[in-house]
Structure 1
Amino acid sequence: MSPAPSPTRSTEPAVLDTDAGQGVALRAVEQRGIEPVPVNERHGNPMQLFWVWFAANISILGLPLGVSLVSVGMSIWQAVIVAVLGSFGSFAIVGLISIAGQRGGAPSLTLSRAVFGVRGNIGPTAVALLSRLGWETVNTSTAALAFVTMCSLIAGTSGAAKQAPVLTVIGVLLFVACTVAVSGMGHATILVVQKWSTWIFGAINLFILAFLLTRINWSVVLHAPSANLAVVITAVGTIAAGTGIGWANSGADMARYQSPLVKGRSLVLSAAAGAGIPLVIMISLGSMIGASDSTVVASPNPMDAIRATLPSWVAVVYLLVSFVGLLLSNHLSVYSAGLTTITLGVRVKRVYAVIVDVVVTTTGSLCFLLIADGFYGPFITFISLLAVPISAWVGVFLVDMAVRHSYDPDGLLDLTHAGPYWYRGGIRWNAFGAWLVAIVVAALFMKIQPGDAAWYTGPLYDTWVGNNGMAWLVSGLVGAGIFALLGGARTHADRA
């Protein structure tokens, strides 16, 4: 059976009205869905992307990552080096995929149709959507908990979600409403909000950071023992997997309005520096706090442990900044999820796709906060495991990018047998096969244990790679290697 014909291009004007030297003008809700942006409408510049990634990573939620580094025995200097390599390096990958967005003017997973075929691309797209919805559910739940805790400090109400259900629902709905208000409007609104949020909430963050610095025992921090090289290498991978890798398949979503005159290295630098600078600051400070206070390292929730050390009025600001930081990341994620939903085949306008996504995450968050017991561990395990197929996608996609410099804009929307990206049965088998094999190989090094008992242990889990959680890296390298060997690194006639 033939797939349904592709949706037609929107004839409504796009919201983005830019001038390279004058910034962004907001006029209406962005009407463009996944259809490629015409070249004459691409006027973006790398500084816009710098602010996007800076604001998305400015949150003090980077502090627990730093605490985790000292918890495995690293010194503060090692933690800083790990933060630099993991953060800048992983977001450089996001920047590389941004180049594809500039070349093709379309979202990442839409461009991925050219790599995997219009049917083969369904697998990577579904994984990307599950990952986005999963982390959005975690963001919404965590923000609601911050809201409930903030109310408990101000008004003396209960700080537990189930014991304050009305406040919990209000916190979820407030967070979701703020998310939709930005992500629903679209690309141009996100650019403006991210830029100004960086300045406003960056200043508030600096206040919190300065206060935390005054509470650090520097003699203990500076004399903390060092870990061996294997621990440092593992930590770099952990930071990379927890930061930029999760955003890799959204890189082109934000870069599709970039001017064709922008150089690729500028896009890589804007993502790497935009996210790397705030992440390094937050992770480094978290490592200092952890090295200074053993109770923070021992706590199952370092964020709450840090808050407990603060005076009530500072703790309120701390929680407010946490809420906003989650919001700045979430509306970017929801925007990408909306585009991914359309790419998967849901026939709705982009703004309605955003609403569909937030309905799912709102429902999931309320169930998690008010109904489920012990759901958080298994849920986090599930969406963390999705880093493996995402990394495999990154490996295959980057190999294809190395030899592909343009995309057929009509072909990206053509889901019929006559389309240029139909390949064989709608699947480009060397790419899709490499993706599947990479996931299977990585699974050999994995252990799935959301609770006390392991659900699955791969036969190679007891190796250094398995014990140190590097299965996601294996999947990326294997996917890239197999695809290259199967012809992915050669220029073919089927390329646009």
Structure 2
Amino acid sequence: MQATTKTGSGPRVERRSIDFVPEDERHGSPAQQFTLWFGANMQITAIVDGALAVLFGADALWAIIGLLIGNLLGGAVMALHAAQGPKLGLPQMISSRAQFGILGAVIPLVLVVIMYLGFAATGTVLAGQAVDQILHTGTPAVGMVLFGALTILVATLGYKYIHMMGRIATIVGVLGFTYLGIRLLISQDVGALLGAGNFEFPTFLLAISLSAGWQLTYGPYVADYSRYLPSNTPARKTFQASYFGTVLGSQWSMTLGALFAALALPKGERFLDGQVAFLGHMSGGGLIAVVIYLVIVIGKLTVNTLNAYGGYMTMLTSVTAFTRKTGVATWTRFAYVVGFIGLSVLIAVLASPDFIANFKNFVLLLLMVFIPWSSINLVDYYLISKEKVDIPALYDLNGRYGRWNKSALITYAVGIIVQIPFLAQALYTGPMTKLLGGADISWLVGLVVTALVYFPLAKRTSNAPSHMIYPAETGQEAVEAVTDSAPASPAG
């Protein structure tokens, strides 16, 4: 069946949720993946993430190099997930049922929802500050509520509008961040900022972990935004567009963050006290500062919409594991999104005083629970099932994937436990971390060990079909082999 590339196909308001996207509703091109992920990373939280590497001890130059290494490594994993979208036509976390079982997948799904809430809340803090700077309400909580309402609107409208926000954020972010970079070069001695300090291995590894963690936490929802691409879209092109978009956007923002933090350090706690106000001051104040605040709001709106949209579909995936539904009405999506954003705004209001410290610990802790999931998903999809999935069975408790997959769940637990000795958290520092001088490499240990444990187990217990099996009503060619779509013994 020849894939369509009609960009205007389908309704204005998205009607699909966790169900399969048929070929006649596919549209778009890989270039849209570039603008979405570039725009999603051209935002203030990425600046804060880069600044953390300096604020917690790294020299600016080595922080920037470490951030680049982490973005390159983590971005590759993220883009491998993105490449699954066109072929599967499914949200990312639904495909986890092929590895964990339909009920077993709920376990990492619950953790994914917590991740979305955390990022939505921390993003709302900064966006609320920007709205407050524009409106001069004197109460950041008012800005947070207004920003939450905007997020609800775009997330409810769905896929097309999210990609539209990505294009807008790309243009606005390039203009705004280029201006800030020029201001920095003109007003400050950037050479001195880069030349100060010495190389320290633990803080260098921290910089790598911060940016790698940033990229890896996109994994659970990145395919949500490539699943409408025509199924014959080359995986290589989807990978490249997502990879370069996320790496270039994040590295640009994080580099600015590292330089801003290095600039602020000799002058006290200016960056720590108010990241949004600091950028407004860097812009020169006045009307141009208002423009920069708008840039911040647009960038945060893009990525917070991703969190709300992904959070809604993750919650729906968890619930439908028990209700066996394959889709929901638009009003149901609205209810999920409102509940999700309402909770994230509440968290933002309560957590804002300790934002910097909480954000650093949050990002690093997320690595511990999502690295094993990502490793299992990628190993299974690319090495075990070799990109072949029985899509109808993902919704069938009695199908080939079954309720629980013990091999995946045990490996997932091992992948989390093995990281504990290497953690460097506020509440716990592992013994191996102390030997490494405080460097946190738990994410790397979790990624490698999980893959090594899962691969031989999955080879013995795999129920993967010999070819792709699509829902019969879509008319896809791969549905023809009835024998392969028959239920197999449930895994585990």
- TM-score of the pair, normalised by structure 2: 0.82
Aligned to 1:108: 92
Residue identity matched to 2:299: G
Aligned to 2:167: 195
Which of 234, 247, 255 in structure 2 is aligned with 1:263? 234
Which of 55, 58, 72 in structure 2 is aligned with 1:88? 72
Question: By how many angstroms is 1:205 displaced?
Answer: 3.2
**1:437 equivalenced with 2:409 (yes/no):** no
Residue identity matched to 1:63: I
**1:362 equivalenced with 2:323 (yes/no):** no
Change (3 A) 1:432 1:222: closer
**1:395 equivalenced with 2:375 (yes/no):** yes
Distance in 2 (CA, whole Å) between partners of 1:345 and 1:53 is 28
Distance in 2 (CA, whole Å) between partners of 1:87 and 1:364 is 26
Aligned to 2:255: 284
Distance in 2 (CA, whole Å) between partners of 1:275 and 1:173 is 28
Which of 330, 336, 352 in structure 1 is aligned with 2:332? 352
Residue identity matched to 1:438: G
Residue identity matched to 2:415: A
Aligned to 1:316: 290
Aligned to 2:480: none
Question: By how many angstroms is 1:109 displaced?
Answer: 0.7
Change (3 A) 1:335 1:251: same
Question: By how many angstroms is 1:71 displaced?
Answer: 4.3
Aligned to 2:395: 413
Cα pair 1:296 1:305 within 8 Å, conserved: no
Cα pair 2:116 2:311 within 8 Å, conserved: yes
Change (3 A) 1:490 1:264: farther
Deviation digits for residues 309-357 of structure 1, max 9, x if unmatched?
5543143333222222111111112111111111001564366335424
Cα pair 1:49 1:254 within 8 Å, conserved: yes
Higher helix share: 2
Residue identity matched to 1:463: L
Cα pair 2:279 2:292 within 8 Å, conserved: no
Cα pair 1:138 1:365 within 8 Å, conserved: no
**1:328 equivalenced with 2:297 (yes/no):** no
- TM-score of the pair, normalised by structure 1: 0.82
Change (3 A) 1:174 1:230: closer
Change (3 A) 1:411 1:64: same
Question: By how many angstroms is 1:430 displaced?
Answer: 0.9
Change (3 A) 1:137 1:394: same
Question: By how many angstroms is 1:145 displaced?
Answer: 2.3
Distance in 1 (CA, whole Å) between partners of 2:76 and 2:334 is 27
Question: By how many angstroms is 1:222 displaced?
Answer: 4.6
**1:128 equivalenced with 2:108 (yes/no):** no
Deviation digits for residues 364-414 of structure 1, max 9, x if unmatched?
423652699768855874565233111110011111012321211211111
Cα pair 1:63 1:283 within 8 Å, conserved: yes
Distance in 2 (CA, whole Å) between partners of 1:475 and 1:383 is 15
3-state DSSP class of the match of 1:214?
Answer: helix
Residue identity matched to 2:106: I
| Displaced runs of 4 or more, over 6 A | 370-373
Residue identity matched to 2:70: G
Change (3 A) 1:187 1:297: farther
Aligned to 2:179: 207
Cα pair 1:141 1:172 within 8 Å, conserved: yes
Aligned to 1:235: 207
Distance in 2 (CA, whole Å) between partners of 1:371 and 1:93 is 30
Change (3 A) 1:230 1:141: closer
Aligned to 2:150: 178
Deviation digits for residues 124-178 of structure 1, max 9, x if unmatched?
11111111122112222321122223333xxxx53x54xxxxxx33x23321222
Moved more, 109-118 or 219-228: 219-228
Question: By how many angstroms is 1:39 displaced?
Answer: 3.5
Residue identity matched to 2:152: V
Question: By how many angstroms is 1:283 displaced?
Answer: 2.0
Change (3 A) 1:73 1:121: closer
Aligned to 1:6: none
Residue identity matched to 1:312: G
Change (3 A) 1:478 1:301: farther
Distance in 1 (CA, whole Å) between partners of 2:350 and 2:260 is 32
RMSD (Å), alpha carbons: 3.0
Consecutive unaligned residues of structure 2, counting only runs of 5 or more, are 467-492
Cα pair 1:61 1:325 within 8 Å, conserved: no
Distance in 1 (CA, whole Å) between partners of 2:364 and 2:200 is 26
Distance in 1 (CA, whole Å) between partners of 2:130 and 2:210 is 25
